[in-house]
Every structure is written in structure tokens, then in C-alpha cells.
Amino acid sequence: MRHSMTALGALALLAASTSLASAEDTIKLGASVQLTGPSANTGRYYRDAYQMMVDKINAAGGVKVGDKSYKLQLDILDNQSDVNLSVRQYVQLVSSDKVNFLLGPFASNFALNDSSVAEKYQVPMVQGGGASTEIYTRGYKYIFGTLPPADDYYASTIDMLQKLDPAPKTVALVAADDSFDVSVAKGTRKLLKEAGMTVAIDQAFRDGAGEFASILSQIKSAGVDAILWSGHETDALNFIRQMKSLNVDPKTFYSFTVGVPTADFRSALGGDANYAFGMTSWLPDESLKDKWYGDASQFAKAYSDKYGYQPDYHAASGAADLETFVYAIEKAGSLDPKAVRDAIAKSDFDSLYAHIKYGENGQIVLPQIVVQIQDGKLVPVYTDKILNKPQYPIPAWGKRG
Amino acid sequence: MRPLPLAIAAVVVVLLVFVPWLASDVMMQFAIDALLLAVLAQAWNILGGFTGYVSFGNSVFYGLGTYGAAIAMAQFHLPFWVGILLGIVLAVLCALLIGIPILRLRGPYFAIATLGLAAAMGAIVSNLPIAGSNIGLVLPLIRADTMFYELSLGLLVLCTLTVLWVSKSRFGMGLVAIREDEDAAGTMGINTTVFKIVALVLSALFTAVAGSIHAYWISFIDPASAFDPTLNVRMVIMAVFGGPGTVFGPLVGSFILSAIYEYLASSISTAAALLFGIVIVLAVIFMPRGLANMIGGVRARGPRYFLQNIRENRL
């Protein structure tokens, strides 16, 4: 059986190829991120945000533990958008590369699997790439996250709608059938019920289908006041285009979970993007004060100067994960995983992303900022109070200038 | 099979049993993944290798095994072995249900019919509340890589012994006869439908258990990961690379390809997928009948073996 022996040899070779000495005065942070493959486009936000934050913190003198100063070292591996590979890489980071702490990958399904590694080895992981509530309902102790829960995405929007005149009474809820958007729809249904609004149309569509004619004609004949939509960006673009071509006019309002904050969305739709409501957990605003960059707008500027593209909430969330570690390590005054874990749980500080404070389950509590496109510009409208006057109700397609 | 290779195989298995006490944690992750993939390739081999019915739908059984374990453990808090049994029952039922109609199709039509299976089952599962709909299920977390390794190894040995039995039995001869000429096999008194269905059921059984083990090990599953379409392609490539219709070919093929993939992924990450593709293209050009065939061919004809393959491919 020469074949089996060859295979065994190959296995042994692999075992030998992974080893890295850890230096005395560095703190090693590890992450496996989608740098290639289908999710690489969003994965880059995390790599770039982690790297930029680490460079900045090191330039400012590093992290103080007691009276000793440590430099941060970042180990990023490419999981090629493959979940099984990413789990193996996290095990490698923890067991053979001996990283002190873990940063997260992008996307909920990755975070769900990878966080099990953090829990098994009891190494704290702070991740800014997965919003699914499932990550936090398993009773894990070592996983924290800076994306707000999917169930609450429409909370601030519905809150705002009740304060507007006329407040919508009937709603069409349209959501994609992937796990994230199903969570959004589930949470939104509950929120709408509590707010006393009627869900007149409740439709799921196949993620990426791009075809909404039948859903839109139902909405049209039901004559709803508002449309709340949840899905991915290309579908959002198609939905708006088809709304216009089929002349579907909800009486007062429509909003999307994604797309609206991005520049691509506005350039793809041109004038048709106007009046659309949306949401984001982060805007590069000067009101978000930060220890390293001063404020979020300066972070955004430094980021786009360095990498040539605008950061969005993914990048800011990734940066906040690093800030959390620095905060917690300095608070704990030690590199002991358990002590740092306890300090993370007690986090309470301002970052360029948001005020960082984790809930009992490890997930951040953070309202979405309601945004609207007004005359081609993105305007923040509402968080827990009106920030700028919304253009409301949205005029019908035929009555726009 | 001559006695010597069998003796060596037995020694290798005994050595592999002790790997967990020597290997690092990273190595264990790789080994479990590689063993489970080898089970998939070997299980595929029972139908695809011996009867020549190329299935691109085996991940449907893998997914059902995954969900069997997950539903039993996450929804009903039953022990793991009950989950494995549930997975087997689901997969075998599914194999019977789809095998009876579509195994009547021959050649490329069978392959086409299997293509949609995994996607269809994924869509069904994502609408079942008991299976966690599209959100997925979370299994209890357990830190027992050694157990998962030994289970995977045990499963692979069992699966390989089954293939060994198939290759020597009257049943296996029947399968090969179907591959060579199905009409002639029928004339010779082989109930081809029953033979093919039994082969599919055996294949489904082992695939499902691999899925159950993977589910408990990874501790979270959703329809996208359970009914992963790329898995179908991978098991076919591994089995064909090693040598379909042989006992050890699929094992060697899957171990070598897993090792190459892992090495490329960790050393030259960005080009890994590309290089992996090149390895497969080269393999198809130079050794279309797999490693097992190449070993014999090169021994008999030397480098002319490769030239002959190129000529047969009309390159």
C-alpha cells in the first residue's frame, strides 16, 4: 500500500509547516478573513480596518499593560470564503500561532462557526462581521460583537414612523429568504405588532431573484401606506426600478435595509434614488469622538486616502473590535484571556464607531440610524430623535419634479 | 486483492488510530476534514465507480445526515447516536424515493437528474420550522476532537471494507457488468434496478453518517452549508482522481487532493484555487483513469503511458 504511505507522509509534512515563535513584548491578534472568493469584496473592509487601526495604535505607543508597553501584531489569514477552511485557520491561530486574542471574519455563518473555536479554546473573540442573533443565543462566554441584532434593524424606523404625520397604518413587509433577512422580517413583524400597525402584505422572495412584478402588483392592489424591504443590494436596486416602471406608490413611505447608504446605490439609480429611506449602524460623523483618530470623519478620510475607497459600517465595526481589545487589555492590566474577557464584558467607552457597550449575551446594543436620500445627498434623519427633517410623505412617482 | 497490500493497509490503519496523541490541534482539524471527505469519495465510488452512474447529487445525503443529527440533538436533546440513526433513516428513505425513478435514466441523463437534488432539498429544508428554517440549528458544543477523529477513521475503514467486499462479491461483479453493458447484464439475469438501488442506498448511508459527524463537530449548520453544491464536485473529482471502481483509489485521491489544497491555501493563499484547478486539468489530461490506473500503466509502459493518454484525448 504505497499510496496510503504517501498520504501519511503528506499529512506529516503539513504538521511540520506551521510554527511561529511569539515575541516577548507584542500582543498578537489573529483573524481569518475573506480576502479571496465570493465574499472578498466585503472581507477587505475588515482586513483594511484591522490593519489601519493596528498601525495607528502602534504609532501612538501601543498598549499599556500595567507599566509595560506592548506593540500589537496582526496575523491575518485568507479563508477564501470557505467556512471549513476558516474554522481550521482559527484553530491554527489559537493553537499553533499562539495569538493572544481573536478578531472576527465577515458574515454571520462564518462568525457562527468560528466563534465555536474561540469558545472551545476560551480565547476572547470580538467580531464586527456577523449580526445574526444565533451567534449570541448559545450561551457562549467568549464571543462579543459590534453589529446590532438583525431583529432590531427596523426598530428606529418604526419608532420614527409613529412620530410622523400622517403615521402609516398598513405596511407591506418584503424580505429575502436567507437567514439574515428572515431574522429581520421576524423581528420587524413583532415590532410592527407592538406599534399597532397592520401587516397587509407579508412576502418572502428568493434571495438574488431580482423579479418583483407579482409582489409589487399585490402591493399596488392592497394600497398600503408603507413598504419595509429587507434583502441585498442588487435586489434593492431592482425593486426600486420595478416600483417606478409599474407605478407602485405606497401612500407615505418606503425603506430598505441595505443599499441606501452606499454611493453605488445613488449613482445606479440617479434621480430615482431620491426620497428612499434606509439605515446604517454608522456614518462618518464628527459627533463620534475617538481616542486615536479624533473623530469618525477623520478616520474615514485617513481610510479612503490610504486604501482608495470609502469605509462603511463594516470597516468602522472592525475598527471598533480592535479598540475594544485595547480598552479591555488596559483595563484588565493583564493578557490573561479570562481577565480580558471580563473587561470586554464591562466595556463602556466612546469609539469612532459608536458608544461601545455589550449586552448580557455579548452583542452590542445600538440603534440603527435612519437615513434618507434628499436631492441626491445622504442625510441622517433619526436615531432616537429627529436629526434632520425627513422629506415625508414620499411623493408619488408621477408627481416628482 | 493480494494479501500484501491488505496487510500494509491494516498497519496504516493501526498507525492512524494513534495520530491524535501526536498531532497538533491544527493537524487534527485537517485530518478530520480529510477523513470525512475521503468517506464521501469512497461512498460515491460504490455507485459512481462500480456502476458508472455519475451522481452529482450525493451532497443531498450528506445534508440529510447533517440535519438528522442536528434535529435530534438541537430540537429533541437526544444523544448523538440517535442523531446518526435519524440521519441514516432520512438518507436511505431519500435514496429509495429518488433512486427508484431516476436510476431508470441512463448515462448523462442520470447525472443531469441528480444535479438539482441538493438545491431542491435545501429549499425544502429551509421551509421546515423543525429544521430551523433558513436560520439553521445550533448543536451543543463539545471539545472532543479525538472522538471525532476516531469516529471518522472508523467510518472510513467501515466504508472501505464495504467497498472491498463489493469488489469481490457477486453483487460487485453485477455492478461492474452494469457499467460495461447494462442490457447484456440484464440478459444475464442481473436485476439491474435492484442492484443500482442497493448501491445508491449503501452510498447514501455512509455519506449521511459523515454528514452527522461533521454537524456535531462544527456545531452549527444551515441549509447553505449542509447542501453545499461544491461538495458534489469535490467528491467526484477526488474519486475520479484516485481511480473510480477501485478499493483504495478514492482514498488516495482524496488524501492527496486534500493535502495539496491545504498546502496551497496556507502557503500561497490567493492563487490556491487557480493552482488547484490546474492540478485537476493536468490529472485529467495525463491520467484520466485515475492514480490507481496510472501506477499500473507506468509500471507496464513507462512514460509512454502518458503519451498514450494524450493521444486518446486527441490533444
How confident is the model over A145-195, as pLDDT tens digits? Answer: 999 888 889 999 999 999 998 899 999 999 998 778 888 999 999 999 999
- Whether residue B290 is contained in a domain is answered as yes
Please, which residues have CB within 8 angstroms of residue A307's CB and are 6 or more apart in sequence?
A: A48, A52
- Whether residue B261 is contained in a domain is answered as no
Q: Assess contact for A324 and A384: CB atoms under 8 A.
A: no
Residue A1 pLDDT level (bands cut at 50, 70, 90): very low
Same-domain status, A49 and A127 = yes
Residue B293 pLDDT level (bands cut at 50, 70, 90): confident
The verdict on a CB contact (< 8 Å) between A15 and B23 is yes
Domain extent at residue B286: 268-315
Same-domain status, B131 and B242 = yes
pLDDT above 90 covers a percentage of chain B that reads 37
Q: Assess contact for B257 and B291: CB atoms under 8 A.
A: no
Q: From A18, which residue of chain B is nearest by alpha-carbon distance?
A: B26
Same-domain status, A318 and A258 = no
Q: Assess contact for B212 and B65: CB atoms under 8 A.
A: yes
Same-domain status, A140 and A252 = no
Same-domain status, A190 and A333 = no
| DSSP one-letter string for B137-163 | EEPPP---HHHHHHHHHHHHHHHHHHH
Same-domain status, A61 and A142 = yes
Q: Assess contact for A108 and A179: CB atoms under 8 A.
A: yes
Same-domain status, A104 and A234 = no
Q: Assess contact for B199 and B54: CB atoms under 8 A.
A: no
Same-domain status, A300 and A382 = no
Strand partners for A74 = A29
- Whether residue B256 is contained in a domain is answered as no
A369-374 and A355-356 as β-strands: parallel, antiparallel, unpaired?
A: unpaired
CA distance to partner chain B, nearest, from residue A380 (Å): 31
Domain extent at residue A260: 152-280+368-399
Structural domain ending residue among the three candidates B216, B247, B278 = B247
Query: Distances from the Cα of B251 to the Cαs of B110, B258, B286, in angstroms?
Result: 25, 11, 20
Q: Among B5, B31, B291, whose Cβ lies nearest the Cβ of A1?
A: B5
Q: Among B15, B31, B220, whose Cβ lies nearest the Cβ of A112?
A: B220
Strand partners for A227 = A172, A254
* A307-346 tens-digit pLDDT: 998 888 899 999 999 999 999 999 999 999 999 999 999 9
Q: What mean pLDDT is predicted for residues A349-375?
A: 91
Same-domain status, A258 and A343 = no
Using DSSP's 3-state secondary structure scheme, residue B116 falls into: coil
Q: Assess contact for A33 and A78: CB atoms under 8 A.
A: yes
Q: Assess contact for A299 and A290: CB atoms under 8 A.
A: yes
* B145-196 tens-digit pLDDT: 899 999 999 999 999 999 999 999 999 999 999 988 888 998 988 898 899 9
The C-alpha cell 414620499 sits at A394
Dihedral in degrees, nearest 10, Cα atoms A83, B226, B141, B265: -20
The verdict on a CB contact (< 8 Å) between B30 and A14 is yes
Q: Among A10, A95, A183, whose Cβ lies nearest the Cβ of B135?
A: A183
Between the two ends of chain A, the Cα-to-Cα distance in Å is: 79
Residue A96 main-chain phi, psi, to 5 deg: -105, -35
The verdict on a CB contact (< 8 Å) between B24 and A95 is yes
Same-domain status, A92 and A228 = no
CA distance to partner chain A, nearest, from residue B47 (Å): 23
Task: Give A209's DSSP letter.
Answer: -
Q: How many domains, in total, are found in chain B?
A: 2
> What is the domain-level CATH number for residue A31?
3.40.50.2300
- Whether residue A290 is contained in a domain is answered as yes
Q: How many domains, in total, are found in chain A?
A: 2
- Whether residue A221 is contained in a domain is answered as yes
Lookup: cell for A74: 496582526
Residue B127 main-chain phi, psi, to 5 deg: -110, 10
The verdict on a CB contact (< 8 Å) between B270 and A36 is yes
Same-domain status, B59 and B206 = yes
pLDDT at A329: 94
- Whether residue B260 is contained in a domain is answered as no
- Whether residue B30 is contained in a domain is answered as yes
Q: How far, in Å, CA of A107 to CA of A82, rounded? A: 12
- Whether residue A16 is contained in a domain is answered as no
pLDDT of residue B220 exceeding 80, the answer is yes
